[in-house]
């Protein structure tokens, strides 16, 4: 696609339920990143994919968080047994290659999913 | 670990005036990139300008320019002839050898008509 697409745009869920957030990167972008943006905070790195593998998942806050990527394209971030502190905007970004900034002027971000846990 | 600090949580500027947003960072690497991103209410992060650390010349993109002081680890953004559409949250970001963009906490810019 022309840009990074994320769905849903907004998600309200009850505490304790599982949620899945989807990211569809730019076609051909091999690197994909998930970030979390809590209210009044900057962006917090969660996980990075190169192709279908995740060389760096150091930012996942707990074992309730997991992510996968299939076909080197779409990625899904899953949060199990959601808690109120999981409420945030989850942003996805993609780039041609890890750290590739020469030709695409940095990463391209999606518009994010606003998750509200009630 | 790299850190990025934006010391101004909020700034305001009159339309057509100039404003400077501050950013400092901490790193032990010599080769890296710095960015300013704009985040309007639509939430999408929009790249405003970037700077390669090995380049001494300050980057410029139309009304946006940076003052990059490598020794001081400072990377400020100057917006000239401010427009109402410039109102947004601005994030300074760093990327080095580990491929992770590290962000500051942002500066909320208000443009007054």
Task: Print the SS3 string covering B69-112.
Answer: ECCCCEEEEEECCCCHHHCEEEEEEEECCCCCCEECCCEEEEEE
From CA B108, how far away is CA B47, in angstroms rounded?
A: 16
pLDDT of residue B42: 85
Query: Is 60 exceeded by the pLDDT of residue B113?
Result: yes
Query: Is 50 exceeded by the pLDDT of residue A102?
Result: no
Strand partners, B68: B75
From CA A11, how far away is CA A20, in angstroms rounded?
A: 10
DSSP secondary structure string, A20-84? EEEEE--TT--EEEEEEE-TT--EEEEEEEETTEEEE-TT--STTEEEEE-TTS-EEEEE-S--G
pLDDT of residue A79: 98
Both tokens of B76, joined, read 């400020």
The dihedral through the CA atoms of B49, B15, B10, A42 has a sign that is negative
pLDDT in tens, A33-82: 999 999 877 899 999 998 899 888 989 999 999 999 998 899 999 999 99
Q: Are A41 and A60 in contact (CB under 8 A)?
A: no
CB contact under 8 Å between A43 and B100, yes or no, is: no
Question: What is the arithmetic mean of pLDDT over B70-74?
Answer: 95
Closest CA to B96 of B55, B53, B67: B53
Q: Which range among B37-41, B83-87, B97-101 shows the weakest confidence by mean pLDDT?
A: B97-101
CB contact under 8 Å between B103 and A111, yes or no, is: no
pLDDT of residue B101: 85
First to last CA, chain A: 33
CB contact under 8 Å between B45 and A93, yes or no, is: yes
- Residues of chain B contacting A48 with CB distance shorter than 8 Å: 99-100
- Residues of chain A contacting B47 with CB distance shorter than 8 Å: 105-106
Query: Is 70 exceeded by the pLDDT of residue B46?
Result: yes
pLDDT of residue A18: 98
Query: Is 80 exceeded by the pLDDT of residue B98?
Result: no
Q: Are B74 and B23 in contact (CB under 8 A)?
A: yes
Sequence-distant (6+) residues with CB within 8 A of A62 are none
Q: Calculate the average pLDDT of chain B.
A: 93
Of B106 and A100, the structure prediction assigns the larger pLDDT to B106
CB contact under 8 Å between B35 and A43, yes or no, is: no
- Residues of chain B contacting A45 with CB distance shorter than 8 Å: 100-102
Nearest CA in chain A to B108: A40
- Residues of chain A contacting B103 with CB distance shorter than 8 Å: 35, 42-43
pLDDT in tens, B17-34: 999 999 999 999 988 889
CB contact under 8 Å between B50 and A56, yes or no, is: no
| % of chain A at pLDDT higher than 70 | 91
From CA A1, how far away is CA A108, in angstroms rounded?
A: 12
pLDDT of residue B41: 87
């Amino acid at each position: 696609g022309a840009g990074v697409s994320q769905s849903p745009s907004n998600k309200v869920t009850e505490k304790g339920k599982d949620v899945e957030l989807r990211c569809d990167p730019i076609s051909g972008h091999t690197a994909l990143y998930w970030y979390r943006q809590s209210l009044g905070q900057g962006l917090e790195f969660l996980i990075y994919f190169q192709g279908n593998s995740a060389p760096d998942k150091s930012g996942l806050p707990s074992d309730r968080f997991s992510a996968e990527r299939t076909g080197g394209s779409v990625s899904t971030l899953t949060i199990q047994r959601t808690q109120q502190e999981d409420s945030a905007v989850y942003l996805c970004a993609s780039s041609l290659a890890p750290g590739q900034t020469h030709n695409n002027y940095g990463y391209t971000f999606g518009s994010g999913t606003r998750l509200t846990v009630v | 670990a790299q850190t990025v600090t934006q010391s101004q949580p909020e700034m305001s500027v009159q339309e057509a005036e100039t404003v400077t947003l501050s950013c400092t960072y901490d790193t032990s690497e010599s080769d890296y990139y710095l960015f300013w991103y704009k985040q309007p209410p639509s939430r999408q992060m929009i790249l405003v300008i970037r700077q390669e650390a090995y380049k001494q010349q300050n980057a410029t993109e139309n009304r946006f320019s940076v003052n990059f002081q490598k020794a001081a680890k400072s990377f400020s953004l100057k917006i000239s002839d401010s427009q109402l559409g410039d109102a947004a949250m601005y994030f300074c970001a760093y990327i080095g050898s580990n491929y992770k963009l590290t962000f500051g906490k942002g500066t909320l810019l208000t443009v007054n008509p």
